[in-house]
Amino acid sequence: MKYKFILVTLILLPFILYSQDNKVSAPFISRLQIHLDRGSAIITWKDSRDLIEGKYRVLRAGQPINNNNYPSAQVMGDVELGKEKFIDDTIQVAGTYYYAVLGVTTDEEIINTFIPYRNTTVLPFEVTEADLMRAALSNITMSASTQNDRIILKVKNVPDGVNILYFRSSTIIATKEDLQKAYQIQPNKLGSQQYADVPIPGIQYYYAVIDDNSFQTDQYELELGRNSTRTPVKLGIKEQKISTNNQEMRSLPLPQINLYESIDSDTKLNDSRWSLPEWKDLSEESKANVRRYMALYDGLEEDRLELKHLKKYGHNVYEDNVNLMTIINGPISNGDFTQSKDLLKAYLTLNLNDMEKASGHYYLGISYLFLGDSKNALLNFLITKDYFKEESTYYIEYIMNNWITDSPFNDE
């Protein structure tokens, strides 16, 4: 009975204090609630209808705030009437926090009446180190722009000791499903916050960045315009020409593709990480369409292409690895298309995503073309046409305009 009397007294005391002329005045808020969002305390409440003019002041302390200690509490800010919300984004240290929201008159008089759970918190508001780290990771931003023959990635607000993963895709990366279709890259570091990527030119690319730990635990979030690019970027295709016997030809666009997976020679492909896709030729319908198209060019004499001015990037060649950059920097740059053909066929047996497969077929088509095998060159360029439209179309038209009298499919 004693406790009930005390409780009723606490509830009625503010109304008694602010009762005048048989009218009850309650110039203090109600429904005070606090929750954590990205390291910030989101404080909401319901304004008092009895505080017509003035404002509300938000206080914070390391212990429950009451009439005795509120002068020493930290003033977080003032909120005008009607807002009913305050965001405390100044929490830098993990710990326990308490809040109070008091009315302030136009004369700057603080209405220092404290009612537990109504305008002051009783339960501690806990902020952990993990909360602060998640908040810091959610502030990581990135942007992508073109600069000459490179795409520059700028990443900001990365906490110390955090490893960042970079992803690239030809489609926007807005969901986890989109990220699964993208592939991880290892851009070259230019500075503390800048990286360079050199993909195949002429293609629109989107990028995303995620911290390694969140990615491994599947706790990451993608936000367009923050850690995932909203607008695509594209490297222009160089217009430098290469002279052949009787016509001009573009220089071959050799990309610096940094593959995140490779297989050492003599590695047994019985690991569950690797699956060998079945080689599938073009459908009979597609072959028939190509055969009819080729018939338009009967009687043309084929010119053997000459390898000139192939650009060779200054990367080390690791002959023990079968990956695309090794092949580009090695046999293709050296003009050994027999070796590049064999290595590319081996490369295409790896567990690759669609973009990596298209890149492999593109350079396999180039290898066949310089070996004089226009039939297989055409088939590979047709496979890559949806990914590298401009480059593949150029070589397809080159082959067709130099086709020999007999169709390559007449022997089938």
Residue 170: its pLDDT value, please?
84
Q: Look at residue 196 and tell me if it is in a domain.
A: yes
Token pair 């895709």 is at which residue?
Answer: 169
CATH of the domain at 169: 2.60.40.10
What is the C-alpha separation between 183 and 147, in angstroms, rounded? 22
Residue type at position 138:
S
Considering the domain architecture, whether residues 159 and 113 belong to the same structural domain is answered as no
Structure letter (DSSP) for residue 187: P
What is the C-alpha separation between 307 and 80, in angstroms, rounded? 74
DSSP assignment of 289-339: HHHHHHGGGTTPPPPPP-------------TTB--HHHHIIIIIHHT-HHH
| 183-185 and 55-61 strand pairing | unpaired
Q: In this structure, how many other beta carbons lie within 10 angstroms of the beta carbon of residue 402?
A: 18
Q: Look at residue 182 and tell me if it is in a domain.
A: yes
Q: Could you tell me where the beta strands, DSSP code E, fall in 66-159?
A: 74-80, 85-88, 95-104, 110-111, 125-127, 141-147, 150-156
- State the residue range of the domain holding 63: 25-127
Per-residue pLDDT of the chain (412 residues; tens, 9 = 90+): 444 444 444 444 454 444 444 454 678 899 999 999 888 899 999 999 889 899 999 999 999 999 999 999 999 999 999 999 999 999 989 999 999 999 999 999 999 889 998 999 999 999 998 888 888 888 899 999 998 778 999 999 998 889 999 999 888 999 999 998 887 888 888 877 888 888 777 778 999 999 998 899 888 889 999 999 999 998 775 543 434 444 444 444 444 333 334 445 555 555 444 444 455 566 676 666 666 555 544 433 333 333 332 333 223 323 334 578 778 878 887 788 899 899 898 888 888 888 888 888 988 998 998 888 888 998 998 888 888 777 788 788 778 777 643 444 434 3
What is the C-alpha separation between 212 and 80, in angstroms, rounded? 42
Of 85, 100, 127, the one marking the end of a domain is 127
Q: Look at residue 247 and tell me if it is in a domain.
A: yes
Considering the domain architecture, whether residues 32 and 115 belong to the same structural domain is answered as yes
Q: Look at residue 377 and tell me if it is in a domain.
A: yes
Cβ-count burial 110-144 (b if 16+ within 10 Å, e if not): ebebbbeebbbbeeebebeeeebbbbbbbebebbb
Q: How many whole angstroms from its chain centre is CA 340?
A: 33
Residue 309: its pLDDT value, please?
28
pTM given for the model: 0.48
The number of distinct structural domains making up the chain is 3
Q: What are the CA-CA distances from residue 58 to residues 99, 120, 197 (Å)?
A: 7, 10, 48
Note whether 351 and 274 are within 8 A (CB): yes
Of 96, 127, 158, the one marking the end of a domain is 127
Residue 229: its pLDDT value, please?
95
Which residues contact residue 109 at a Cβ distance below 8 angstroms, ignoring those fewer than 6 apart?
Answer: none
